[in-house]
């Protein structure tokens, strides 16, 4: 992933007002991260559970970017730098492992050429679009900030609880993304998967002498057997055979045969 450089970030500053030009900044974010539905500014690094709630809400809404060290009116004031390990440990207390995000600092040296950015540090938190595993929920609650069994979603500039309509839309996007993930497999991947399936499909399934003797003995002995309701009706070989057939059809569709 390409990241904003110090100069890129600096280019978004209007030196006349000492504020970030939000239009320029959004354009930069779209250029580096792709089109984002959301961008949030925080004057300082807030409590981990509050940051986690933002991450959850943005992930359920297609991703976004949070920049710490910027006021609500887009003035760059800088944020205190915290240990990266401590930061991620604090976030992972609430955010599931399969929710991906990236965090990095943009540091400016003490130099008048940087204007309001001089000597300041900014933390950029990037949450990519990842409907593949959505909806995301917190793995731990924290008072009234984060509740368990609740799906948060980003609505305008706030983090609210998803409605049934919101959840339905998230699930629809998840299904669509799952389908795209499967459809984007290369021909080589399909072939390798087929080869693996063939390894589990024996050329011969003949019965051995021992099995024949065992069958004859078993027929002469009456035993009360309880049917295992969890035993699959389909044999393993039949299952593998069906997978092979499906995979071969997929390959034929891929090469338009």
Instruction: Quick: pLDDT tens for 29-57.
Output: 888 877 666 889 999 999 999 999 999 99
Burial of 238 (0-12, 13-18, 19+ CB in 10 A): exposed
What is the rounded distance in angstroms from the CA atom of residue 7 to the CA atom of residue 13? Answer: 10
Asked if residue 222 has pLDDT above 60, the reply is no
125-160 residues labelled b (16+ CB within 10 A) or e (exposed): bbbbbbbeebbbbbeeebeeebeeeebbbbeeeebe
- Pairwise CA distance, residues 96 & 138, whole Å: 7
**Residue 66: pLDDT above 90?**
yes
Amino acid 251: pLDDT? 81
pTM for this predicted structure? 0.68
pLDDT (tens digit per residue) in 106-149: 999 999 888 888 999 999 999 999 998 999 999 999 999 999 89
- The pLDDT assigned to 223 comes to 54
Please give the Cα distance from 220 to 215 (Å, whole number). 9
pLDDT of residue 213: 53
Residues near 236 by beta carbon (within 8 Å), at least 6 away in sequence = 200
């Amino acid at each position: 992933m390409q990241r904003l450089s110090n100069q890129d970030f600096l280019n978004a500053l209007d030196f006349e007002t000492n504020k970030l030009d939000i239009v320029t900044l959004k354009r930069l974010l779209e250029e580096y991260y792709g089109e984002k539905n959301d961008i949030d500014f925080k004057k300082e690094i807030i409590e981990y559970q509050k940051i986690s709630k933002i991450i959850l809400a943005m992930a359920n809404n297609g991703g976004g970017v949070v920049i710490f060290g910027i006021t609500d009116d887009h003035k760059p004031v800088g944020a205190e730098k915290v240990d990266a390990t401590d930061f991620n440990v604090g976030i992972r207390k609430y955010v599931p492992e399969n929710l991906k995000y990236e965090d990095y600092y943009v540091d400016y040296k003490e130099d008048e050429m940087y204007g309001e950015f001089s000597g300041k540090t900014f933390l950029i938190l990037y949450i990519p679009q990842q409907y593949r595993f959505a909806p995301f929920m917190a793995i731990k609650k924290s008072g009234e900030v984060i509740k368990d069994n609740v799906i948060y979603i980003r609505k305008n500039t706030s983090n609210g609880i998803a409605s049934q309509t919101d959840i339905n839309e998230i699930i629809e996007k998840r299904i669509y993304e799952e389908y795209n993930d499967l459809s984007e497999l290369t021909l080589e991947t399909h072939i390798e998967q087929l080869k693996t399936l063939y390894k589990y499909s024996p050329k011969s399934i003949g019965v051995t002498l021992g099995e024949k003797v065992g069958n004859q003995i078993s027929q002469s002995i009456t035993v009360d057997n309880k049917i295992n309701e969890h035993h699959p009706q389909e044999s393993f070989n039949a299952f593998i055979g069906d997978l092979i057939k499906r995979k071969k059809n997929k390959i034929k569709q891929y090469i338009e045969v």
